[in-house]
Amino acid sequence: MRTDLLRWYAREARDLPWRRTRDPWAILVSEVMLQQTQAARVVPYYERFLARFPDPAACAAAPAAEVLRAWSGLGYNRRALALHRTATIVARDGWPADLVALPGVGPYTAAAVASFAFGAAVLAVDVNVRRVLARSEIVVEEPTPELNQALMELGATVCTARAPRCSACPLAEGCDGPGESTAQATGRPRFEDTDRFVRGRVVAALAAGEPLPDVDASRLQRALHGLERDGLIERWEGRFRLPGDALR
């Protein structure tokens, strides 16, 4: 099954820019951006971000406002602040032996960076890999970077949660199938009706030097309070700005 999976990956893998490097900073940026965000959407942000901040020192030297501005539109802006803090630590002290010690780096991200950048024999289990392992009978021994990528690719493109393409799966033989994981979620609010939508619009407006979004006052105040609490914006002379940014 391992051989079949690797052959499938060699034939079907998407050409994603972070798969062409072993630079730990570039890989960390990609992994942080990919959290809860589809790869196709991440690619342009990833390329622009690394063009502006090619290494931890460049990111650490920039004000948090500039990092947030480069990140704006990608969503989950707290990830940008955590990455900025990580860049400061790495630029000063180098990469730690235990990557989980870095801000915003959990067990999966640490395993992914260790595997793809440093060649460590660790299994990087994200939500896609967990789903593949739960459905199939594949036993992962001596994980390699290529095997990690293959498992992730299979989960992202074939063994998906809601519409798995079992006929195209190299692990179909002996697989238990999708089970109940294809159940459609119901009753979810529109993204435009969530606080996260308003928070993103506030950060985008401040990043562009534009007025705050014209939304319901209670939603706006809730978003401003949460953003200020999380360190993503700050009050300055009676107005809001990105952390340390100059008022426009």
3-state SS track over 75-143: CCCHHHHHHHHHHHHHHHHCCCCCHHHCCCCCHHHHHHHHHHHHCCCCCCCCHHHHHHHHHCCCCCCCC
- Domains delineated in the chain: 2-168 (1.10.340.30), 191-241 (no CATH)
Percentage of the chain beyond pLDDT 70 is 95
Q: What pLDDT score does 26 carry?
A: 98
Quote the CA–CA distance of 226 and 22 in Å, as a whole number: 36
Element of type H or E holding 64: helix 64-71
Q: What pLDDT score does 181 carry?
A: 45
Cα-Cα-Cα-Cα dihedral of 93, 95, 99, 100, to 10°?
A: 20
- Which position among 12, 31, 146, 210 bears the catalytic label? 31
Q: What pLDDT score does 188 carry?
A: 67
Q: What pLDDT score does 180 carry?
A: 53
Confidence of residue 107 (pLDDT cuts 50, 70, 90): very high
Confidence of residue 91 (pLDDT cuts 50, 70, 90): very high
Q: What pLDDT score does 238 carry?
A: 76
Q: Residues 111-154: pLDDT tens digits?
A: 999 999 999 999 999 999 999 999 987 888 899 999 999 999 99
Q: Residues 206-248: pLDDT tens digits?
A: 888 888 888 888 888 888 888 888 888 888 877 888 887 865 4
Q: Respond yes or no: is residue 31 known to be catalytic.
A: yes
Percentage of the chain beyond pLDDT 90 is 60
From the list 38, 102, 49, 52, the residue with the least C-alpha distance to 71 is: 49
Quote the CA–CA distance of 26 and 47 in Å, as a whole number: 10
Contact at 8 Å (CB) between 3 and 29? no
168: pLDDT strictly greater than 90: yes
Mean pLDDT for the stretch of residues 166-183: 76
Average pLDDT, the chain: 90
Quote the CA–CA distance of 19 and 17 in Å, as a whole number: 5
- 3-class SS at 236? strand
